[in-house]
């Protein structure tokens, strides 16, 4: 058995736990919306066509914000198509995902759905095929109280109260040549800054997110962020990050070590933003919105795309419906640890996506909904993390990886809520084959007792849930958790994610 240690003290804090860390992402892609969130006629559907079984799982998941409507989809989207009487809404071709969009679910349906679930909406504007005027029109329709053409039109459509959307994304992945309306960094930065300044003239209290690189592997990464922020620094509040990870060629060790790359990505973007701010002599600090992140077996889907017929236009096709296993859940739990660890800079995040498409929730049309393995670390982290993130010092053996070199087998985050005294430890064992005995020194928190200890693991790291067996993989009580003299002992199985919650004497 390997051995690792951890120390956390309330005197060493990172930042508050941001509720926006536990955001999700809904794009008009595949079955995320249609037969995912929205399915009129489903046995659980309400009067507006929203699936009740999915809504219950979203509540359990603990989602706080949802980014909408894309994603690549937004760069060809006409928001006007998705409002007004449904029998008059046009069917359009979606070029991003090569499908038909019925527009039966649009802005007002999204805002209504968010309101019922207590979710903060996060809206993206089309800066691909459209631009300044369309963004201002959408903002007026969504947020203006009344007395103007577009706000009165919203009222005519059955929504007299403004949606009051505070957070807006200025396009999506505009660095990518696959994006409709793709621009170079300078051109995009100027366009985003122009739109941002005009939107603030309409509503000065907006929070605006400018597009960063669509991934740290882009050839323009770093230079893109610097150039875009040189143009838009004063006009925006956040810059976006997107990252997806997958196991390549059976290299489980590298896959489990993916967060080493994620950590470097976050640190690099933060440093670049600060460098631009220093050059501009601007004291404002740009925050990071990690508004797409997940495990995504993109290489598999690229191979499938090569054989799909080019003339096959379908509504809500079954695409990119990854089936997640134990190892995927461990990586997702580790990504949440990274987001918590960087709470001083990452103040919003959106796991992509919410239902069916690379998602924690799966559905069958007319049938059940169930939890994928990645559902569990997200739900338990969202439920358990509160108060402030503490600086967790971890000492652990290294595991050699082909992609990232030596990666510590243990990674962890600790949170503490002074108001309640509750503390939580989130920890992964990234070893492919060795259990780890963890000694966590929590004496500074004066822990009084363990309230819960759960571990997600399996003898088969590739075990997964399915419609036929939806609970094949679920977290189980970790009976080895023991607290003595302020030190927590815990045995971590290989390829595992765990959460331990404690009551403490520190308030």
Residue 156 falls in the annotated catalytic set: no
Q: Residue 480 contacts by C-beta under 8 Å, 6 or more apart in sequence?
A: 489, 490, 491
CA 504 – CA 507 distance, rounded (Å): 8
Among candidates 262, 270, 311, 265, which has minimal Cα distance to 288? 270
CA 333 – CA 431 distance, rounded (Å): 15
Q: Residue 351 contacts by C-beta under 8 Å, 6 or more apart in sequence?
A: 23, 24, 25, 293, 294, 332, 360, 378
Q: What angle do CA 99, 243, 263 make, to 5 degrees?
A: 170
Q: Where are the beta strands (DSSP E) in 189-248?
A: 207-210, 238-245
Question: Which candidate in 173, 225, 231, 247 is catalytic?
Answer: 173
Six token digits for residue 231: 């143009």
Six token digits for residue 267: 């640190």
Residue 265: φ, ψ to 5°: -60, -50
The gap from C-alpha 128 to its chain's centroid, in whole angstroms, comes to 22
Six token digits for residue 238: 């956040």
What single DSSP character describes residue 15? Answer: E
Judge if the upstream peptide bond of residue 69 is cis by omega within 30 degrees of 0. yes
Residue with tokens 């004291």: 283
CA 486 – CA 484 distance, rounded (Å): 5
Among candidates 334, 327, 294, which has minimal Cα distance to 433? 327
CA 80 – CA 106 distance, rounded (Å): 9
Among candidates 371, 428, 362, 421, which has minimal Cα distance to 394? 428
Secondary structure class of 52 (helix, strand, coil): helix
Residue 173 falls in the annotated catalytic set: yes
Q: What are the residue numbers of the active site? A: 173, 292
């Amino acid at each position: 058995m390997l051995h690792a240690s951890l120390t956390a003290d309330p005197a060493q804090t990172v930042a508050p736990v941001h509720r926006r860390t536990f955001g999700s992402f809904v794009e008009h892609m595949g079955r995320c919306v249609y037969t995912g969130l929205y399915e009129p006629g489903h046995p659980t559907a309400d009067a507006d066509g929203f699936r009740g079984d999915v809504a219950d799982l979203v509540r359990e998941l603990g989602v706080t914000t949802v980014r909408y409507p894309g994603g690549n989809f937004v760069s060809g989207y006409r928001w006007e198509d998705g409002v007004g009487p449904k029998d008059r809404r046009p069917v359009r071709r979606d070029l991003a995902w090569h499908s038909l969009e019925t527009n039966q679910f649009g802005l007002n349906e999204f805002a209504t759905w968010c309101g019922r679930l207590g979710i903060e909406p996060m809206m993206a504007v089309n800066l691909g095929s459209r631009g300044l005027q369309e963004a201002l029109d959408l903002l007026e329709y969504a947020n203006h109280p009344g007395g103007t053409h577009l706000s009165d039109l919203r009222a005519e459509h059955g929504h007299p109260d403004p949606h009051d959307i505070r957070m807006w994304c200025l396009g999506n992945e505009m660095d990518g040549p696959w994006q409709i309306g793709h621009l170079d960094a300078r051109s995009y930065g100027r366009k985003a800054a122009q739109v941002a300044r005009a939107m603030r003239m309409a509503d000065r209290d907006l929070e605006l997110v400018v597009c960063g690189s669509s991934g740290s592997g882009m050839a323009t990464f770093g230079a893109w962020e610097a150039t875009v922020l040189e143009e838009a620094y004063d006009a925006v509040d956040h810059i976006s990050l997107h990252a997806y990870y997958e196991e390549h060629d059976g290299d489980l060790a590298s896959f489990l070590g993916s967060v080493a790359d994620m950590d470097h990505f976050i640190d690099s973007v933060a440093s670049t933003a600060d460098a631009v701010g220093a050059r501009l002599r601007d004291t404002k600090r740009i925050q990071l919105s990690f508004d797409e992140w997940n495990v995504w077996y993109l290489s598999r889907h690229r191979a499938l795309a090569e054989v799909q017929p080019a003339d096959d236009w379908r509504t809500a096709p079954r695409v990119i419906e990854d089936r997640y296993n134990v190892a995927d859940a461990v990586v997702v739990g580790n990504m949440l640890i990274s987001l918590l660890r960087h709470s001083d800079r990452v103040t919003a995040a959106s796991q992509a996506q919410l239902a069916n498409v690379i998602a924690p929730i799966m559905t069958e049309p007319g049938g059940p909904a169930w939890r994928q393995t990645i559902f569990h670390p997200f739900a338990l982290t969202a439920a358990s993390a509160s108060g402030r993130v503490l600086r967790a010092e971890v000492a652990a053996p290294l595991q050699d990886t082909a992609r990232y070199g030596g990666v510590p087998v243990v990674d962890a985050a600790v949170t503490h809520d002074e108001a309640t005294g509750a503390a939580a430890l989130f920890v992964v064992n990234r070893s492919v084959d060795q259990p780890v005995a963890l000694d966590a020194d929590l004496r500074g928190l004066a822990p009084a007792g363990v309230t819960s200890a759960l571990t997600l693991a399996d003898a088969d790291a590739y075990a997964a849930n399915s419609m036929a067996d939806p609970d094949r993989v679920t977290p189980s009580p970790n009976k080895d958790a023991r607290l003595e003299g302020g030190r927590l002992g815990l045995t971590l199985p290989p390829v595992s994610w765990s959460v331990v919650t404690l009551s403490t004497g520190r308030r």
